[in-house]
Amino acid sequence: MIILKHLTVERFRLLRDLDLHFPQRGSILIQGPNEAGKSTLFECIYFALFGEPLTTNREKRALDDLIMYGESEATVKLTLSVGATELTITRTVERGSGQRVSLLVRRLGMPESEPITQLRAANERIITELGRLDGETLRNSCLVEQKGLQRLEQISGRERESTLRRLLGLEKLTRLAEQFRLTPEDEEQLRECSARLRLAELQARIPELSAKLGQVEEALDAVAVNEHLAEIEQQEAEIAEQERNLAAIQQKRSELKSRQARVQQLKKAEAILAELITAYDEMAEARRELPELDRQIADLELREREELPALEKRVRELEDLSRSFGTLERMATDLLATVSTIKELEQEVQERTTFEENLEQLEAQISRAQARLDQARLTRSELEERRRAGRPSLEERLRRLRHLASRLEALRQAEERYAQRLAAREQAEQLENQIEERRRRLREAEQEQARSEQELRQVEQRVATYEERWRRQNLARQLEEWLRLRDKLRGVTEAERQVRAAYQQHERCHQEAAAALSVARRLFAVLVVTVAAFAITASLSFWWALSQLLVPAVIGIVLAAACVAAFIALFIRYSRARVSVQQALQREQDALNHVRAMVAAREAAARANGGQEALARVEEEIRALGAEVPASPDEARRLIEQAQAERSSLNEQQALAEAREQLTTWRAQVAKATETVAALRKQVSDLEEEARSKGWDDIHSKLRSDLVAVEQARHELATLMGQEGLPIPTFEANVFNSPAKHAELKAIIDEALKTAELEIAALDGKIDAIAELQEQIKACEQELESLQARKQVLLGRLERFQTSDPLQQLARAREQQAALREALQQLTDSLRQRVKPLGLQFGQAQVSSAESAARRELEALHITLGRRIELQGRREHYAALLKERQQSLSGYYQQLAKFSAVLGSWIIPPNPFTETLNGLRARCQQELQAASEESILQELEQLQVQEGASRAKIELCRQEIEEIQERVRALLDLRGRPIPQGYRREEIVAVWPLVGEYGVDDRQRLEEERARLELEMQQHEREELELSQQLKTGGEQLDLEQARRRMEQQERTYQTKKRGSMLIAAVIERLMRKMIPRTEYYMQQILPLLTSGRYHDVQLVTEPEEGSASGGPLRWRVWDSAAGEYIPREALSSGAADQISFALRLAFAIAALPRELSAAPGFLLLDEPLSSFDQRRAQAVVEVVTGEMLGQHFEQIFFISHSSAFDPAQFPYYLLIDGGQVVESNLPVVTPHSALNGNGNGGRPSSEEGPETSSEATSVVA
């Protein structure tokens, strides 16, 4: 239990000097007026325990606020006991420097330890000794602050549960729950064990599947043999059918050949009859056309001699007249152009006169505008000259005066800066002294750190030497184990090598089989193409031969023969390729069987040894010891001998343990020294940064430089004012930053500035007149420019008139007009005389029309005469055709006589009449149509195709039978069966009985079973490969039983942690849920006492809150007998509500006391809880505080009241404070003798001692 024993306070806020010894048990009344320091007493205790001020409903205050006004430091010293341990805490707060702490821990029967002076370490040690009781937990339980009765009702459920965990000591359970918490490593280990078990199961399952797959494949081979036998029977039946088809095709071909010969004779006879009919028709036409052509030729010769010369002469005369009329028209056009030119020249003469008059007027206007422009420019020049003479000097004076004002401001700033530095010099010197002190302490701490690090390095070297010897001994033991396991695994390595060789051989055989199969497929495709080409070329050749196209038929026969030769050569190569494929497949199957045998041998060797995993673990241990795995057993033995020569003894092991303990000790000292150095360096750097930020790092030199700057500014200001004719100022040597002096100088300078600005403004007023003159000048210049432009235009036009005089041009044009009129009249008279003989009217249109008509007549005559040549050509053609047809008639009749022997005598015509010949030709066409040559050719072609297809099919069937027999022989060889005498089913069953057990109907079932086994095996192998890569086993064979045991062990560990963490969480949650009923129970006992029997029953309720097992903030409802129900806080008066809240605080403090009382708070701090209580209920509170209800749970109860209504005699102990000092007290007084006894044994007094000796006096100050 935690008991407060002794409190010493100096200059802490309102308390100036207190030295209090608290009794071991009892309630203490603390009274005094307002601001006497009563609440400060609790804040002293809180600050001593936790090193921070106690704040209530205000912002966190700085530590400097804890120091009494006018003082530089405050000290609080608290002594308390926690079971058999006594703590003495001394905290000192220096203004501007933070706090210092000294913690002295004494245990019963143990020597005193060194005091702890590090702030963080001391705070953490105090919290640890108090059972993890921190400041927030104390305020929520045993410290009822002033105006803090509703604190429990305001905090959240998570904060309340955090307070309970600390009070009840559940932090140990939390740490235990942390140990049982499932981590990602646990999940990973469970997954790894599960994967290893799965890998072992797969490795055991794959050989079984392989054996089953072999049996299914053998049964499928037997089914394949049955299928091959059925195919042989089917092919033999197909051959017999095709031979019968060939015999029928030969008979039908003979019949078609005879029909085709008669059709050819009919076609030739029909052609001769057609030519004979054509010859008779052409002869008749020639005899009709020859007389008519002779007549037309004679007419044309007559017209050429009589009409042609007269027409040609008339056309020539009319053409000459047309040219003369064209000349007459051109002369008339020239005369009209001359008349228009004369009119234009007369108009230009008038314009020239007008231009000369306008030019004289423009010259007069230009003279007047130039005079106005010269007058305005003269006036502007005079004004600008006056402005240039006065403004620069005024502007220069104004600039100097402004510079003078800026120098005055600079002087003021320099004096102000110098005065500020003088005021801060004393503080800067104090800060500099603090920096030097910290630097001195830093040097001492660094020297101590260097000594500790030197000792640490020496101890580390000794530890490293011992550990190196110990590592060599462990390495020797691991090498011995490695040699033993390596000898066992030699057989497994050899089996693994044979498996890899078998896999490589199988891969080569598989590639050879794939290449041979690809070649065979390509040859088969070429064979099919060759057969198709042969069929096409043969059909085309036959058709061309029937059509008597000999050259294409011969070429087609040659191509068909080439296709047959190519087919034979390719078929031989294809047969050889098929044999190669069978051999390659056989080699691949043999290699696969060899692989399966090697894998089975490897698995057997791995199951026999089972040491691969152990060897890997040993090699990992060797690498963990910092060594490489030996390359050979000899090297391992050599390392073992070296290690045996350095066997370590038990003394060395003890020395190693001692060295490690020393190493830990020195490391702690080095860490402590490092923290001290870091803290001092931070303090020095903070102080230096503060000096730099305030500009105090070199204040003396800055003061000198500021003084020099002030003197320079004063001298410069006096010089400039003298130069400007202003009064020269005088400055006192020791007076700086004088406002009156600066105001006087500023007024003088401002007056001079105003004067200069007024003079410049007066001069600038004349700028407006210059602007008006500038506008006048601009307007005059524009007017002058426009006049000049008009003048130039007129001058350009007059220059054109000077180069070409229009009067001379007018005279020449009139002379040309007279000459043209005379020539035109002469030409007209001549044309009238030439037109009269031709019988035409005078005019160009009539002459042109006559000329066109004459030309048309001449052209028509020429066209008519041109037909004579065509008529002569036609006459010669008909004469030759008549002679040729008369000569060919005997040949046609002879050919028809030859066909009469085959077709009959009806083919010879009895007479040469057209009706007879057309009747014979129609009969030939009818017989040709009835014979249907096209159908005969189609039937022959179909017979040829059918014959080729039948023969090719017979050949393919025989080849397929040979291939099937070869496949059956390969399957028998594959399964180790002898070669049968024949390939009948009975003969095959005799050498392989399994063929009789399975039929063709069993294939689907067996293939499904094989596919299922292959799929399962592939999945298992793929999963095995993935798991092997994931687990990095390197193809190692795992032991199934060992993997299963390991998985069960890991599963138990996982479930243990999982259920343990759930159990601990459930325990904590249960405790949290029980606290509200416990609090309600104690509240129901306290409430009647506080309210004098007014209220008895109360209920505590909470709202659900995330992350809180017991709910959110506490809400209470009290039973009101008058209302007959539970009413909330809002229905009560403030005084009654505060009483119930106070009862809640007391009940919670009692309910939260742990069962283990060694670290339980034994004190209760009540800070003025009676602010809203009446006299009767305040007396009830006193009875509760001094009664057995609280006394049986708390040893010490501190009660603060500002009211004087309480009789101190009601409390066993009382304390009256006023003005920060104890005015009256009956607290125990410890004599020096009892203090010495207490310090001597460090223990608690016995219960028989009086109040004066119930606490120990401690006076240790760190």
CATH of domain 1-141+1168-1179+1186-1262: 3.40.50.300
Q: Dmax over Cα atoms in the chain, in whole Å?
A: 188
pLDDT digits (tens, 9 = 90+) for 1173-1197: 667 777 778 888 888 878 888 888 8
Across 11-35, average pLDDT: 87
Q: What is the DSSP letter of 1132?
A: S
CB 398 within 8 A of CB 753: yes
Higher pLDDT, 770 or 579: 579
d(CA 659, CA 456): 11
The SS3 of residue 645 is coil
Res 1243 pLDDT > 50: no
Instruction: Name residue 82's beta-bridge partners.
Output: 2, 85
Side chain identity at residue 641, one-letter code: E
Measure CA 591 to chain center: 50
pLDDT digits (tens, 9 = 90+) for 1095-1154: 888 888 888 887 777 778 888 888 888 888 888 888 888 888 888 888 888 888 888 887
Q: Kindly state the tokens that stand for 1125.
A: 């129900």
CB 1100 within 8 A of CB 1079: yes
pLDDT at 736: 62
CB 256 within 8 A of CB 932: no
Q: What is the DSSP letter of 554?
A: H
Q: Kindly state the tokens that stand for 768.
A: 């407006």
Give the whole-number percent of the chain exceeding pLDDT 70. Answer: 87
Spell 259-294 as b/e; 16+ CB within 10 A means b: ebeebebbeebbebbeebbebeeebeebeebeeebe
Task: Judge residue 1031's burial from the number of C-beta atoms within 10 Å of its C-beta, 0-12 exposed, 13-18 middle, 19 or more buried.
Answer: middle
pLDDT at 1236: 34
d(CA 1148, CA 890): 152
pLDDT digits (tens, 9 = 90+) for 225-263: 888 888 888 888 888 888 888 888 888 888 877 777 777
Across 368-376, average pLDDT: 76
Nearest C-alpha neighbor of 530 from the set 559, 550, 491, 487: 559
1242 — pLDDT class (breaks 50, 70, 90): very low
Total residues belonging to the chain: 1262
pLDDT at 697: 64
Task: Judge residue 232's burial from the number of C-beta atoms within 10 Å of its C-beta, 0-12 exposed, 13-18 middle, 19 or more buried.
Answer: buried
DSSP string covering 347-386, please?
HHHHHHHHHHHHHHHHHHHHHHHHHHHHHHHHHHHHHHHH
Phi-psi domain of 1044 (left: phi exceeds 0; alpha: psi -120 through 50; beta: other): alpha
d(CA 796, CA 804): 13
CB 980 within 8 A of CB 987: yes
Measure CA 391 to chain center: 71
Q: In what order do the strands lie in the sheet with 15-21?
A: 15-21, 2-12, 73-82, 85-94, 98-107
pLDDT at 1245: 37
Give the whole-number percent of the chain exceeding pLDDT 90. Answer: 3
Q: Kindly state the tokens that stand for 794.
A: 């007129």
Q: Kindly state the tokens that stand for 350.
A: 């008038």
Termini Cα distance of the chain: 26
d(CA 272, CA 618): 113
Neighbours of 760 (CB within 10 A): 14
pLDDT digits (tens, 9 = 90+) for 1004-1043: 888 888 888 888 888 877 887 887 778 777 767 778 888 8
Nearest C-alpha neighbor of 894 from the set 275, 417, 293: 275
DSSP string covering 719-733, please?
HHHHHTTPPPP---T
For tokens 């042989």, what's the residue?
232
Side chain identity at residue 390, one-letter code: G
d(CA 541, CA 562): 13
Q: Kindly state the tokens that stand for 96.
A: 């501007």
pLDDT digits (tens, 9 = 90+) for 145-159: 877 778 888 888 888
Neighbours of 727 (CB within 10 A): 11
Range from 8-12, 389-393, 519-523, 809-813 carrying the lowest mean pLDDT:
389-393
Nearest C-alpha neighbor of 1099 from the set 1082, 1071, 1119: 1119
d(CA 1163, CA 1198): 8
pLDDT digits (tens, 9 = 90+) for 1046-1059: 888 888 887 887 78
CB 1227 within 8 A of CB 22: yes
Nearest C-alpha neighbor of 1197 from the set 1252, 1127, 1149: 1149
DSSP string covering 567-632, please?
HHHHHHHHHHHHHHHHHHHHHHHHHHHHHHHHHHHHHHHHHHH--HHHHHHHHHHHHHTT-PPPSS
d(CA 1249, CA 1247): 6
Q: Where are the alpha helices (DSSP H) in 71-183?
A: 119-129, 135-140, 151-154, 157-167, 171-180
Measure CA 56 to chain center: 51
Nearest C-alpha neighbor of 460 from the set 652, 659, 655: 659
Spell 572-586 as b/e; 16+ CB within 10 A means b: eebbebbebbbebbb
Tell me the CB-side half-sphere exposure of residue 17, using CA atoms within 13 A: 1
651 — pLDDT class (breaks 50, 70, 90): low
The radius of gyration computed from the CA coordinates of the chain, to the nearest angstrom, equals 69
* SS3 readout for 1134-1160: HHHHHHHHHHHHHHHHHHCCCCCHHHC
CA 993 vs CA 885, 970, 986, 988: distances in Å? 92, 17, 10, 8
Q: What is the DSSP letter of 298?
A: H
The SS3 of residue 735 is coil
d(CA 1056, CA 182): 10
DSSP string covering 29-87, please?
EEE--TTSSHHHHHHHHHHHHHSS---SSSPPPPGGGGBPTT-SEEEEEEEEEETTEEE
For tokens 């002879």, what's the residue?
894
The SS3 of residue 8 is strand
Q: What is the mean pLDDT of the chain?
A: 77
The SS3 of residue 1199 is strand
For tokens 């007559």, what's the residue?
302
Higher pLDDT, 757 or 98: 98
H or E element that contains 210: helix 184-306
Side chain identity at residue 115, one-letter code: P
Domain boundaries, the chain: 1-141+1168-1179+1186-1262, 490-610
Neighbours of 691 (CB within 10 A): 19
d(CA 577, CA 519): 7
Higher pLDDT, 603 or 266: 266
Q: Kindly state the tokens that stand for 140.
A: 């929520």
d(CA 689, CA 683): 10
d(CA 812, CA 809): 5
CA 141 vs CA 352, 781, 1109: distances in Å? 127, 104, 19
Phi first, then psi: give them for residue 93, nearest 5 degrees: -110, 120
CA 466 vs CA 537, 648, 650: distances in Å? 100, 9, 12
> Of the ranges 48-52, 105-109, 1002-1006, which is most confident?
48-52
